[in-house]
Amino acid sequence: MQFTKLRLTGFKSFVDPTDLHIAHGLTGVVGPNGCGKSNLLEALRWVMGENRPTAMRGGGMEDVIFAGAATRPARNFAEVSIHIDNTDRLAPAGFNDSDHLEIVRRITRDVGSAYKAGGKDVRARDVQMLFADASTGAHSPALVRQGQISELINAKPKARRRILEEAAGISGLYQRRHEAELK
């Protein structure tokens, strides 16, 4: 499974549709302070199902929607889509029947979030599980936020264990067990 393209529309500072092509290997994002580098990483987390406003540096989930600027009015929705090359068929069952997969999340003011996978409506949980099983989820250690390294060093043992579990690809199992226990 390889991410090939990230598209942002009305997401934070990316008011106009913006495509980020992701090549094989390491991708670096450089630019001056405030140009939107962290917003790009947040878009990636968000489309994978991140639901903690604090992880998105906002007070509420709708804060990801373009809030307007001196010359541009605010938007009513934000949308992020991620394109995945699945020719290796590593996407989990239910998603692994095609070479190419597109996941879309859209949030509309006063309505909330909706997700699509391959053009079909899916639940947030389906998307979160897809990425948790693929060990690339919204909480994945593959995405390192500013300040996160020092958080890791200072983390309590239990929190540090969660990070290792995510890296080992077993956090999807924990989520399912937690849901089973609630039933």
How many of the other CB atoms lie within 10 Å of CB of 12? 23
* 51 in a labelled binding site: no
Q: Beta strand 18-21 with 2-9: parallel, antiparallel or unpaired? A: antiparallel
Crossing angle for the helix pair 171-182 and 124-133, to the nearest 10 degrees: 140
Residue closer to ligand ATP (CB basis): 119 or 150: 150
The whole-angstrom separation of Cα 10 and Cα 106 is: 10
Binding ligand ATP (rule: CB under 6 A), the pick from 63, 85, 102, 165 is 63
Residue closer to Mg ion (CB basis): 43 or 129: 43
Which residues touch 11 (CB under 8 Å, ≥6 apart)? 39, 43, 46, 64, 65, 66, 78, 79, 80
Asked whether 110 and 148 are in contact (CB, 8 A), the reply is no
Contacting ligand ATP within 64-123 (CB under 6 A) = 65-67
Residue closer to ligand ATP (CB basis): 12 or 139: 12
Is residue 38 at the binding interface for Mg ion, with CB under 5 A as the rule? Answer: yes
Is residue 35 at the binding interface for ligand ATP, with CB under 6 A as the rule? Answer: yes
- Kindly give the residue spans of alpha helices, DSSP state H, lying in the chain: 37-47, 124-133, 148-154, 157-168, 171-182
Binding ligand ATP (rule: CB under 6 A), the pick from 30, 33, 154, 157 is 33
36 binds, among Mg ion, ligand ATP, none (CB under 5 to 8 A by kind): ligand ATP
Binding site for ligand ATP (CB under 6 A): 12-13, 31, 33-39, 63, 65-67, 146
Annotated binding-site residue numbers for ATP = 32-39
Annotated binding-site residue numbers = 32-39
